[in-house]
């Protein structure tokens, strides 16, 4: 009798595994594609702002100039419609990813939280975008749009890492991280989010070329003289602190955590990303906001924020 029960449980387990494996494989593919789609949403939003395409469809949403298919197709309309299309696809894919993750990964304690964050923030992001088109918004509210989408991207990115069980490949629970690195990681992530807001404010207040010199304001000025220059120079100072802060953390990690490859290489990548972020920020000014450099500027901060959020996920699982 006991053998029969044992054999029944084994066969049931095998049957369920066979049923779940194709879904789990599809979940991995969907997670990767959704993460890439969220990157395109980030870059697309920056492209809309940089090219002044926010009014490419007038005050109509979800229609374009009151039409399903607009009669004219200037470049601003194409950019705005493409961004709307990518954002709409991203919402559908994030919803599907969340549903599959809850179905297949209910045992992971972060799954439900990350699903709620990714879906919730991408919906808020879409509502702010739609509201800006229909009613218009002031620059300070619009600047929050990029930050909200950044949280949505980070949630999807972390969910993808859970799907691939990255933390299990090196047994995250075996890491021992001291309070110095813990607190600096958390506060740095919060600080970077505030700096991202200041950078978005530079774009939405049209302050990108308020200071044509670098690192000083230029035009015979060392510092800011008007509101737009204050926005630009304040962002530069705040961003410069990030470079120094991450460099200090990297030195600390190399001295005290060199035995942990995930920390050593992770913080090295973070420092490279912040250097690239600073470089593209400088080149944006010197090239009078070259569109490709501006998009790289948005890409690097997106990747850096996602990496820091991953470090925080590690902190929640380590000693």
Question: CA-CA distance, 214 to 21, in Å (whole number)?
Answer: 54
Residues pairing with 218 in the sheet: 221
Question: CA-CA distance, 146 to 137, in Å (whole number)?
Answer: 14
Question: CA-CA distance, 192 to 231, in Å (whole number)?
Answer: 16
Q: Among residues 303, 304, 1, 31, which one has the least CA distance to residue 165?
A: 31
80 carries an active-site annotation: yes
Specify whether the CB–CB gap between 285 and 227 falls below 8 A.
no
In a 10 Å sphere around its CB, with 0-12 CB exposed, 13-18 middle and 19+ buried, how is residue 118 labelled? buried
Ligand-binding site membership of 83 (annotated): no
Question: CA-CA distance, 204 to 142, in Å (whole number)?
Answer: 7
Find tokens 């109509």 and name the residue. Answer: 60
Q: Where are the alpha helices (DSSP H) in 74-178?
A: 75-104, 111-134, 139-163
Q: For residues 274, 279, 284 and 286, what is the CA-based torsion angle, rounded to 10 degrees?
A: 160
Question: CA-CA distance, 186 to 315, in Å (whole number)?
Answer: 9
One of 76, 80, 165, 171 is an active-site residue; which one? Answer: 80
Question: CA-CA distance, 182 to 238, in Å (whole number)?
Answer: 21
Q: What values do phi and psi take at 51, rounded to 5?
A: -95, 0
User: Which DSSP string corresponds to 187-211?
Assistant: HHHHHHHHHHHHHHHHHHTT-TTS-
Ligand-binding site membership of 4 (annotated): no
Binding residues: 235, 297
Give the catalytic positions in this structure: 80
Binding residues for heme: 235, 297
């Amino acid at each position: 009798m006991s053998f029969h029960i044992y054999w029944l449980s084994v066969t049931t387990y095998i049957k369920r595994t066979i049923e779940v494996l194709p879904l789990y494989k599809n979940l991995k593919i969907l997670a990767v594609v959704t993460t890439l789609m969220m990157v395109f949403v980030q870059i697309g939003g920056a492209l809309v702002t940089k090219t002044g395409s926010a009014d490419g469809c007038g005050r109509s949403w979800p229609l374009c100039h009151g039409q399903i298919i607009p009669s004219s197709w200037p470049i601003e309309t194409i950019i705005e419609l493409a961004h709307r299309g990518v954002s709409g696809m991203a919402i559908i894919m994030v919803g599907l990813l969340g549903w599959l993750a809850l179905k297949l990964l209910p045992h992971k304690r972060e799954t439900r939280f990350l699903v709620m964050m990714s879906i919730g923030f991408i919906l808020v992001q879409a509502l702010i975008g739609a509201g800006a088109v229909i009613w218009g918004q002031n620059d300070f509210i619009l600047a929050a749009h990029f930050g909200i989408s950044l949280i949505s991207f980070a949630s999807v990115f972390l969910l993808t890492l859970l799907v691939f069980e990255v933390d299990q490949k090196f047994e995250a629970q075996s890491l021992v991280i001291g309070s110095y690195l813990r607190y600096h990681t958390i506060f740095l992530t919060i600080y970077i989010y505030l700096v991202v807001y200041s950078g978005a404010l530079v774009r939405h207040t049209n302050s990108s070329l308020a200071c044509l010199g670098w690192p000083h304001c230029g035009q015979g000025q060392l510092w800011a003289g008007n509101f737009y220059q204050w926005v630009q120079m304040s962002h530069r100072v705040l961003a410069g602190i990030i470079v120094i802060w991450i460099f200090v953390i990297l030195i600390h990690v190399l001295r005290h955590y060199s035995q942990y490859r995930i920390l050593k290489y992770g913080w090295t990548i973070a420092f490279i990303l912040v250097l690239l972020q600073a470089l593209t920020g400088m080149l944006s000014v010197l090239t009078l906001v070259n569109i490709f450099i501006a998009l790289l500027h948005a890409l690097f901060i997106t990747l850096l924020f996602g990496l820091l959020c991953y470090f925080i996920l590690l902190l929640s699982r380590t000693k």
